[in-house]
Each structure stands twice: as structure tokens, then as C-alpha cells.
Structure 1
Amino acid sequence: MYESKTVNVYEQLAQLSEAKRIELLTRILVRIPSVNGTAGEVDIAEVIEGIFRSFPIFQVHPQWVWTQKLPGDALGRENVFAFLPKPGAHDTVIYHAHFDTVGVADFGSLKTAAFTPDELATYFQSYTQDADIQKDAQSKDWLFGRGALDMKSGDAVHINNILYFSEHPKEQQGNLLFMGNCVEENDHSGVINAIGELMRLKLKYQLNYTVAINTDFISPKFENDTQKYIYYGAAGKVLTCFYIKGEETHVGNTYGGIDSTLVASAINLLVNNNPDLVEDIPNEEILPSSCLMLRDQKDFYNVQTAKTTYMYFNTFTYQRPAYQIMAQMKQAVQERCDQLTADMDTLEKNYQRGLQVPLTKQTRHLAVYTYQEYIQHLNRQGVATSKLIKAFVHEHGDMAKRQIGFELINYLDQAANDTTPKVVLFIAPPFCPHNYVAEHTKIYQDLQTMTAQCATTDQFVLKKFFPFLSDSSYFAISESEAEIQKLALNFPLMAQLYPLPYPQIRALAIPAVDIGVYGKGAHTWKERVYKPYSFGVLPNLIRNFTQLTWTKGV
């Protein structure tokens, strides 16, 4: 448990300039090891709640600060809310950020210093293997540590701005709602559960959510890039999975089967980093799929080829519905598997010709299905798939949510005694919807005004899609109900594994933007946030944008 959580943080902040306030808040939060999936997520929620409760406005109105527990969470993790109302106002700006981090294994021998910014800065000042980080450390303009950039400095900026408006009530023309979320780094469970709380508040207080402002990090895109990127949309994501079943054989008869790892390798070479299998949007950072897992299912060493292999990819979505991306990928994989079996036939024939033996009649075939198509195939064979799926859920319902789809297909395959080599393409959690702010709207125009009015020398660039995964995906959804239903057909056990509150998300339809802290090395041991911009420029930038959203359009 964080030992200083009961200290009156406001007493420390009151004596400081704004930039020093945000730095102190960032340091307090970085010191808490809130690694995703650990009790540190509980600790940091308590600390953030305590920080808010130390502010004079919340001393008078303690009911304006509260937490929301994640239902059924074994760790007891919570979201944190702080509401700063303006009497008579309905327009409400949401300041949101997550407070969990990735792990610290990458720090190696420096793991014990991962949450100690000054110790890391001292280390990097004499670190000659990376001139850029050494220069940054020596400049004293950067704050190091796990979570310093992603994204406890972003939390600190929002906390500071809530404090600022509480101290300058005449500048506040609408309501402010801070929302700090847990569990962002893998399944986004925090923000998903918070959607219900946002709906409750909207109905109870007749709130009109004008915009949700995320402070998730931005970074240089190329060497010497100093531009500051503002995003008015969030990329989506599907986890595209491949169940691959080959035909096992002895290594002494290697042409007698189909090695599932060979099939997986062919699919990996096709899909991994292939820009032709994702969207093409001019002037946007559109990322191809990346393989996150590839694993054969052999339990021990022997001289038999692997019968089954599992693999999945991170696949981004931007404007096209996810089911269309899936259909395109399935067609490409079908063509590649057809070519693979033809190549294997050619190799075997050449081998037999070299031995001067009769050529074997070629019978290789790899069936490629989507999950929906495979279920339909089994149903045509008379397999009672619905009954089998219910039995599987009863027996294995507590299995890890990214493993259960593979095991369900394997279960069905064995129950049907289906021995044919195959590839089954399906979706597993998490699914992140994509969304973006239309360029004819007031919110987009307010972003343009905000950057034009900024008095600093920073060069701002407006981009449509935040290039990383973020909680902003869950404030609105661009895909129609029919398009989501098509996706669900290829998402085994979607309702049980990843029950998103689609009706509430559609009803809220909150424009989401990212005006983020600036730094380098997120998710690496070199993570650092640039203080002059993040602590000195960004807070006022966000306040100006907030005030613009409270004004009525012409």
C-alpha cells in the first residue's frame, strides 16, 4: 500500500507553480507500481481519490469524489471520478486518463529503479550507449520512469486542471468530470464499466457530454520531429486469430503430411506487417497487423510434426467495419494456403523424381473457414454445434479469454471427428471500436481554434486517428448495429467474453479527442516525458479548448 496516501497533497501543491504542481503529481503517481493486473492498480486509485479529497472544493463537497468498483474483479480495482459542476450548466467536458502501466521486466537490473525518476535520470546521464537519452537526461527537462509518459503525467495534467478551475470558478462555464480508469493496458475493462456510470450521471443530472479529452501520450514520428500531434479520433482493433490444424507425420516421411507450423509461417509472412491487408487513408498513420502469438500445441518433444498451431494478430481498424477487414484477410489467406499446398505438391514431386520412384497422386488440401463458416460446415455434417458449445462453456467457461476460442474450435473439431487439415479464422478479445470526430462539427473547429490561438512556438498537426490503442475507443462507435452483428458471428462466445455496452455507447456518442503529454520511449525502459511542453504548455492548451467547447457556435 502506498505509504503517503493520507498526506494532504493540496498543502504541498498550494505553494508551487503550475508546472511544479504537475511534476509533483506525476512523481507521486509514478512512485506507485500500478502494473496492470496487480494490487498496485488498487493502490493508485486510492491515492488519486485522496489527492482530490485534499482539494478545498472537495473538502466542502466530498460527494463530488467517488469510486466505481469493477464487478467481480478479484483485485477489487476501481475507477475514480471527480465532478466539478457549474450551477445551471448541462454541457460537460470529460477529462479521462488511465492509471495502470505495463510491467517492468524490460528494466532488467534497473527494475528496482523503475518507479524512481531521479535514480533513472542519474543513470542515463552517464549512459553512453544512447546519445539521445543521455542528452535528455543531462538537460534536466525530462522525467523518467515507468508510467511517466504512459500516462501518469496525463493523469497529473487533468488533476491539475480540475484544481485550477476550482480555484478560478469565473473561468468555468460548464461542468467538468474527471475519470481515471484502471485496466487499460490489456482489456480496457475500466472504461467499459465506466460507460454505465457516465450514463447514470447523464440521466441523473441531465448532462450533455460535449467532448472527452484524453491526455494519452504523443511522441516524435521521425528523427528531429518536434511537432505536436492532436488526434480527433481513435483507431479500433480486432484480435484476428487462426486455428490451424495440419496432418501430422513422422519426420522420416515429411512429405506425408501437412505441418501446421509451416502453414502458420506462411500466414505470418502474408499478414504480419502487410499494408495491403489494412486500410489506405492518405496522410494518416495506418498500421498493418502484427503477430502477437504463434505457438504449436505439442506438449513434449517427439519426431512427429505439429498437428495444431495457434496464432493471433493485432489488427487495427480505422474507417472500414471490422467484418470487412476479416473478409479481406480470409480471402488472402485462402489464396496463400492454395499456393502453399501447390508448392508442397511440387516439392514432393521433385523429391520423388530425384529418387526415380513413381509419383504419388497429390491429395493435399487446406480448407479455410471463418468461424461462422466452420459452424455451418459442421451443422451440414449433422453435428449438434449449439449443444456442444453449451457443454464446452459449462466445462471450460473459466478459461483465459484469449485461449478459449482456440480450445472451443478444437473441442468441436474433435467431437465431429473432423480430421481434414484446416484453418479457422476468428476474433478474440479485446475488440476496440473505432470512431472519429467529423470535420464539419464544432468540436473539430474548436481544435483548430485552440491550436491557432496557442501563443507558444509549438507546431501542431491535427490527425484523425490516434495511432495506438486507447480508452477513447469506447466513447462512441462508428460501426452500425448490423455491422457489429456480422462481426459477432465470427467472435466465439462474444457475449460472455467481451460484453460491450453497445446501446449505451451509441446513446452517449461522446466525441473523443487526444491532446496528449509529449515524450519518448513509451512501453520501454527508456520511457520519459518532456516537462516544458507537458507541464508548461499542455495544461493551458487543454483549458483553452475546454472553454471553447463551452461557448455556443455561431
Structure 2
Amino acid sequence: MSKQEMVDNRFSIRIAELEELLIQLVKVRSVVSSAGEHDIIDFIEEYVRNWDYFRARPEQVVRIPSAGDLLGRSSLLVCVSGRESSDAVVMIGHTDTVEVDDYGPLADLATTPDLLESALKSGQRHLYPQAQSDLESGKYLWGRGTLDMKAGVASELLLLKQLAENPESFKGHVIALFVCDEEGNSAGMISAIDVLKQWRDTKGLKICGVINTDYHTAQYPGDEAYYLFRGSVGKIMPVFYIRTLETHAGDPFAGLDANLVLAELINEINLNPKYSDYAGDEISVPPITLKVEDLKEVYSVKTNHEAWTLISVPLFEQTPVDVMEKMLDAANIAAENSLVRYYQYQREYNKQAGIPTETIHPDFEILSLAELIDRVAARLGEGTDHLIDRYLASVLDEVDTREQTLHLIRQLELLLPDRRPRIVVGFAPPFYPAVS
């Protein structure tokens, strides 16, 4: 066997091992905020602790509880050390996935790649043309988490295994962080960073770089290029709370529908490159809504006067101040457009109904959450920190952090003396600064 044949054979064996490991990882269903998040970390920990390297060095596998996590989830730090050096490289990968409800009747098969592929080939779920072509090609593994991002996790584990089998082949340290809750609140990474810092400082390490093996797909139809990105895109989450004037459904122009305003707001911001960020000749993807909801809890003929939305805004170079200015401008545009539409429809209706006068509503007030907090604190003669703590105390263990932000806005807005239409713009967790 030639040297090239030996290399090719070794490569084929590793690819087969990688595929087998990936399938095992996918079969551990680890939907975010489910018990499966415990199972996947258990699987990875057991997998690496069975290596001879970690049998001799068990302290280099560290279970990291997520601080304050009501679900008790954990992440994992795994370190393989080579010849003596303070240099270290960190790999990161998340072990959770998004939900599987979009698989419909095949949801039970979503994490069994072979059975899912067979079901798809038998026509149990219709696919759009590109996906159907991929299915027929036989080149893909199917299932939730195969791409995002258990293929990356499997690659990191296999690299660690190779290094652990030959620690004399390299200098320094390779550290992997396998974190939970990436698809939700990043509880895993937030706690893992603290442990990584302690690990670095205790061992006197110099972190030379961080590698994230999460997926990347084609940037446009027909794109066959592979991309390597330097740095990371940031993310900030504007929250908009809309409060208008309720009325009876039989007298709709006597009030102002919050959903009308919400629709104008979404129309202004959602997918609009006007609100993208730039770095050199690169443009970020535009903002998109992640939650849209009116706040009417029961059915009645009273119109809806409260609504809210969360919008994901990617960051390259913009600061939170920059984004807030843009979002306040967008709120003003939405308020103006909704009133223009309201008065236009009212005039058309009044003309046909023979109504001689029109209802005039107060103009919108647009303000930031920071302004709302300051105004209420001044009105009550109370410090802002104490005010926030007091109104959040009842929901800290009841709802997630985004709902907590909404709760704070609603409670404080009620304390304003006037009942004019209002849009409050704030930020809800999580916030990730861009790194370039």
C-alpha cells in the first residue's frame, strides 16, 4: 500500500467514525429547554471519560452548572494538553437544538436520521424542490441537529480524541466548551465563560484564538462556496410595547387598534435593509421579528389596546445607542403611518355612512424604556434601581427574561397619568456584542 493509499484509508476511517458519532449525537434529542439537554451533556461526558487520556486525567473534564438556571442544565469543559506551553486554543459548540414541531407527523422521527430519510423517500412529507433533490442525491444526513450544530460538535470531539491519542504531537492546550441553551438564553455559555477564565488564570494559559464550528449555508441559491468567518456578529433585541385606546367592536373608530399600529411597525422594520449594519463592504442581514403578540388575554368585543414585538437586530459596528435611535425613528414612522391609515379609513367610512364629523385622537408619545423608568421614578420619588427591582420581583422566577422586560414596561406605563397612545422601546435579553 502506497503512502497516499494509507492516508486515504485513514481518512476514510475517520470520516466513517465522524458520521457514526454524529448520528449518535443526533439520536440524543436535545431540544432547548427540555430534559434532553441533560441527556446530551451526559452522553458527551461519558464518551470522553472513556478515553485512556481522561481516565488518567479526570480533572480535565469539568461539568459546569448553569448559574440560576431553573432547569438545572449544565455545560462541559474538556481540555487536552500537549507538550509544555502556555498557548491554548478554545473550541466552542452548542449541544441543544430548536424544536421539532415543524416536522409535523414525522416529529417522532426527527432525531433518527435513517428512519427519517426512509419516511421522506416514501413520500410521507412533501419537500420543496431543492430539498427533494438533496434527498434523492443520497449525500445528506437528515434530522434535527445534524447541521445546527451536532456535526460541529462531532468534529470537535473527534479532533480532541485524535489529540488525546497523541498528546506529544502538539504543543499547548486545546479546550472545548460544549454548552447548553444556545438556542434560548445562552445560560450555558454565560456560566462557561466564568469557568474558562478561572481555568486560564489558574493554569497561566494564553488563549490564542477561539474556533466556533457552527454551521454556515449557501448565501444565495446556487452558491457552492465554503466560508470561513473571522470575528462574530453581535445581536441586540429591541422590544416594542404599544398601548392605544380600546373601544367596542361595534364602534371601531372611537378607539385605536393596537394591532394596526403593530402591523405598521412590522411593515417598517421587518426585513428592511435600511436597518442593517455595515462593516466595510459587508452588510448584516436585516432585522426580523422573533415574537409578535397582542396582550388581550380573553375573548370579548372590546378591541385590543396592547401589543408587543421582539425584533432581532444583528450588529457589526452599531452600538446600542445607535440601534435605539433607529428604533425610536421606526416607532415614530409606524405611529404616523397608522394614524394616516386610521383617518383615511374613517373618512371613507364616514362619507359612505353619512357621518358628518370625525373622531380625533391624541398624537402618539414615543419614548425609550430608560425615559419611562426615569419619569416614573421621579414621579414616585424613588431610585431607579429600587423601582426596577420592586416591579420585577414578582416575576423573576415565573417568566423568562423577555417577558420580564415586557412586565416591567406594562407596570410602569400604567403609572403615567395620561392615557394617550404610546409606544415604549427598550431592549430585552440577550445582548451579544460583535467581535471583529
TM-score normalized by the length of structure 1: 0.71
Task: State the alpha-carbon separation in 2 of the partners of residues 269 and 15 from structure 1.
Answer: 51
Task: State the alpha-carbon separation in 2 of the partners of residues 166 and 397 from structure 1.
Answer: 43
Task: State the alpha-carbon separation in 1 of the partners of residues 57 and 105 from structure 2.
Answer: 46
Task: State the alpha-carbon separation in 1 of the partners of residues 130 and 340 from structure 2.
Answer: 50
Whether the 8 Å contact between 2:372 and 2:412 is mirrored in structure 1 is: no
Q: Deviations over 1:511-552 (max 9, x none)?
A: xxxxxxxxxxxxxxxxxxxxxxxxxxxxxxxxxxxxxxxxxx
Whether the 8 Å contact between 1:42 and 1:75 is mirrored in structure 2 is: no
Q: Deviations over 1:173-224 (max 9, x none)?
A: 2211111111111111111111111110111111111111111011122333
Structure 1 residue 124: Cα displacement: 3.3
Task: State the alpha-carbon separation in 2 of the partners of residues 129 and 334 from structure 1.
Answer: 41
Q: Deviations over 1:116-141 (max 9, x none)?
A: 11112223334474454444344443
Whether the 8 Å contact between 1:78 and 1:182 is mirrored in structure 2 is: yes
Q: Deviations over 1:231-274 (max 9, x none)?
A: 11211111211111101122333222221111111111111111
Structure 1 residue 73: Cα displacement: 2.8
Task: State the alpha-carbon separation in 1 of the partners of residues 269 and 427 from structure 2.
Answer: 15
Counterpart mapping for 1:322-337 below 5 A: 322-337=320-335
SS in 2 for 1:251: coil
Task: State the alpha-carbon separation in 2 of the partners of residues 342 and 377 from structure 1.
Answer: 29
Matched with 1:399 is 398
Q: Does 138-147 or 154-163 show the bigger shift?
A: 138-147
Structure 1 residue 349: Cα displacement: 4.5
Change (3 A) 1:214 1:295: same
Matched with 1:93 is 89
RCO comparison, higher one (Cα < 8 Å, 6+) = 1
Q: Does 392-401 or 121-130 show the bigger shift?
A: 121-130
* RMSD over aligned Cα atoms: 2.4
Structure 1 residue 347: Cα displacement: 4.2
Matched with 1:145 is 143
Please, which runs of 5 or more residues in structure 2 have no aligned partner?
Answer: 1-9
Task: State the alpha-carbon separation in 1 of the partners of residues 11 and 268 from structure 2.
Answer: 58
Matched with 2:68 is 72
Q: Does residue 298 of structure 2 align to residue 300 of structure 1?
A: yes
SS in 1 for 2:62: strand
Q: Which amino acid aligns with 1:325?
A: V
Q: Which amino acid aligns with 1:113?
A: L
SS in 2 for 1:68: strand
Change (3 A) 1:257 1:144: same
Same amino acid, percent of matched pairs: 27
Change (3 A) 1:65 1:382: closer
Change (3 A) 1:383 1:248: farther
Structure 1 residue 276: Cα displacement: 0.5
Q: Does 409-418 or 121-130 show the bigger shift?
A: 121-130
Counterpart mapping for 1:536-551 below 5 A: none
Q: Does residue 237 of structure 2 align to residue 239 of structure 1?
A: yes
Whether the 8 Å contact between 1:91 and 1:207 is mirrored in structure 2 is: yes
SS in 1 for 2:342: helix
SS in 2 for 1:250: coil
Task: State the alpha-carbon separation in 1 of the partners of residues 375 and 242 from structure 2.
Answer: 16
Change (3 A) 1:382 1:100: closer
Change (3 A) 1:223 1:336: closer
Q: Does residue 42 of structure 2 align to residue 46 of structure 1?
A: yes
Q: Does residue 314 of structure 2 align to residue 311 of structure 1?
A: no
Q: Which amino acid aligns with 1:175?
A: H
SS in 1 for 2:228: strand
Structure 1 residue 281: Cα displacement: 4.3
Task: State the alpha-carbon separation in 2 of the partners of residues 432 and 414 from structure 1.
Answer: 31
Matched with 1:266 is 264
Residue of structure 1 aligned with 2:52, choices 52, 56, 59: 56
Please, which runs of 5 or more residues in structure 1 have no aligned partner?
Answer: 1-13, 437-554
SS in 2 for 1:143: coil
Change (3 A) 1:357 1:169: closer
Change (3 A) 1:23 1:383: same
Task: State the alpha-carbon separation in 2 of the partners of residues 268 and 286 from structure 1.
Answer: 18
Report the number of matched residues.
423
Matched with 2:15 is 19
Q: Which amino acid aligns with 1:397?
A: L
Q: Which amino acid aligns with 1:192?
A: I
Q: Which amino acid aligns with 2:429?
A: P
Whether the 8 Å contact between 1:125 and 1:135 is mirrored in structure 2 is: no
Matched with 1:432 is 432
Whether the 8 Å contact between 2:253 and 2:346 is mirrored in structure 1 is: yes
Residue of structure 2 aligned with 1:370, choices 368, 371, 375: 368
Matched with 1:168 is 166
Task: State the alpha-carbon separation in 2 of the partners of residues 70 and 154 from structure 1.
Answer: 22
SS in 2 for 1:84: strand
SS in 2 for 1:209: strand
Q: Deviations over 1:325-358 (max 9, x none)?
A: 1211212321331343244345444544555555
